Every structure is written in C-alpha cells, then in structure tokens.
Structure 1
Amino acid sequence: MGADQSKPLGEPTQHVFASETPTRFSGELVNKLQESTQSDGTRSADLELKIQSRVAAELERLADEEALRVAETISKADSGSSSDTSVSLLDKVTGEAAEKERRAQLSNGSVTKEIEALKQKLAHRKKLDKVDPAVESAKEELVLCLRLNDRRPLDCWKEKEAFKKAVARLEQDFVDRTLR
C-alpha cells in the first residue's frame, strides 16, 4: 500500500483536439487586421487617455457639487446664526479659497526664484568647513598612541576619550547651526 506512484513517471501526455471543420476568416477581416496601424501600445495609450479624461471630468463634477454644498451650508449658517462669532464659516472657507488661489497664481518666475533661493541655501550648507584644530590634534594624538602601543591599544583610552569629546562638541555645534 503506497508503494507505487499514483502517476507514471514518464512524460506527461498531451491532448490535441482536432477540429472537424477548418477555421477560416474572411478576407476582409484579415485585410483589416493587416492594415491596422495601431499597435497594442498605442491602443492601450489611447484607452488610458480616455480613462484619464473621464476621471478628470468626474473629479471636476464632484468638485463643483462640493462647492455648491459648501455655498449652501454657508448661506444656511449665515442666515441661521447671528454675526457675533469672530470667525465665521464663510471666513474659513474664503481663507482656504484664497490660499488655493494664491497657489494657483504662482507664476513660473516666482517658482524659479524660490528654487534658486533653495539651491543657494543648499550650496551654503554643502560647504565643508575646515576641520576644527582641537579635533585634528585629538585625532593625531590618538593615532600616535595607537601606533606606539600597537600591541596594547587599551592603553590609549585617555586619547580616545579626548577625541570622542572633541567630535561630540563638533557634532553639537553642527546641530545648533542647522537648527538656527
């Protein structure tokens, strides 16, 4: 029981189905397919563009509906409430609308100016300062000690601590400069 394989080890058998009637296409269909200049890529690109335009139209329609709802809500809130509130719903909505309008009005020139300003800030930060003399001297003392005590590196613990303190001070200075 279980000694034989349930399937033979030979090659898997293939089943070929032969149609009794030959498959033929009309000459008109074959010519139309051969004359088609569209490839699968262009068809898929066209389909993608159609889908994107439909989605954009639907988003625009939804945005218009939402704007109408907001306007109705504002008018109901203004008519139903008194003008005692310091910041009304209308002010909040118009403030948001003003911010959106400001973003939309950013011109190519102003965006270019902002990009240049950011590039200058980055270039300023990239400048490498001279290595601090205290760090450099602590490093040299540590290297010298390690070379002299190459069989006993644990004897250089004082130099290592001095180097760590100098580097920690340098790192703290960098953090302070960055956060300013």
Structure 2
Amino acid sequence: MGASQSNGQVVFRSETPVQFAPDVVEQLSERQASPTPTPERQSTLDEHIRARIQNEVKQLRKAEEQVQEEIRLALEKENLDKEKAMAGEASGEAEAGAGSIKSSAVLLGDLEEIQAKIDRFQTRKSLANYPELKASQDALISCYKSHMNSSLECWKEVANFKNSVSQLEKEYFKTLQ
C-alpha cells in the first residue's frame, strides 16, 4: 500500500503546456544534428587521449628498464659463474705454467660472446624484423600528424597498433617458455 509512495518520486501534472523559446529549440536541434563534439568537449577528449598515451609510454619504458635489468643480472651471474670456472682452471694451469695464455683466450671468447648477446638484444629492440609492427606504427604516426586537432580520428590505427604489439608480445612469451 505505501510501497508506491516510498520511491521518492513526485509527479506534477500541469494543465498549461510548457513552451520553449525558439532559439533554445534551435540550439538543441543544432547540437543533435552536429556529429562533431563541441570544441570544449574535443579538447577534453584530446587531453584524455594524450594522458593515456603518456601513461602507455611510461609503462613501456618501465618494461624496457626491467628487461635491461634482467639482462644485466643474467650477464653478471653468467660472468661470475665463468670467473669461478676460470679460477678453477687457472689454479690447475698455473701449476702447469700456461695460465696467462689460456686466460687471455678465454677472456677474448667471453668478450665476443657478450658482444654477440648485445647485438642480439639490439636486433630484438629494432623494429626492422617486425615489418607489420613498423607499418602500423608508421600509419599511427602519420594519422596523428594529419589529425593534430582531432586525434580521435585515428582510432583504427591505434587499434591496429595495439593488435600488432599484442601479437609480438605473444610471440616473445612463446620463446621464453
């Protein structure tokens, strides 16, 4: 019985019709007919998109720093293991009298190995081996340059770029397993 009144809504019925000024009606109809947002709304949207892009860049930089740190730690561990192994070999060879020749050859081999690892890392970092990612990146950049004031026009390019990055990440994680 009291449930219908407990919802907090009060309905007023007026016998006089409500009328709006013609310029108010015209302004509302123009807003509805216009497919583009107002300049204020567009600037708000642009700011939001810029903030999200900056956030993504920060996250990518953090991820790159983490990968570099992991590589550095792995190389340190590998070098320590090799030094321990060389120390064992050097003590055995020092007794034989040929320790300095062997250790310089081992050091040269280690240096070449490290250089090869650096080269592999640099080639992975390069986009030359990933033409579809490079193409989607170029398309996105050119779209942003051609639509500087309306970056929302580039939503297709952003989606394509995200998909390319996602595919590349999946392939990378498959190689880790």
TM range (shorter): 0.3 to 0.5
What TM-score comes out, normalization by structure 2 length?
A: 0.34
Larger radius of gyration: 1
What TM-score comes out, normalization by structure 1 length?
A: 0.34
The structure whose residues are more often helix, as a share, is: 2
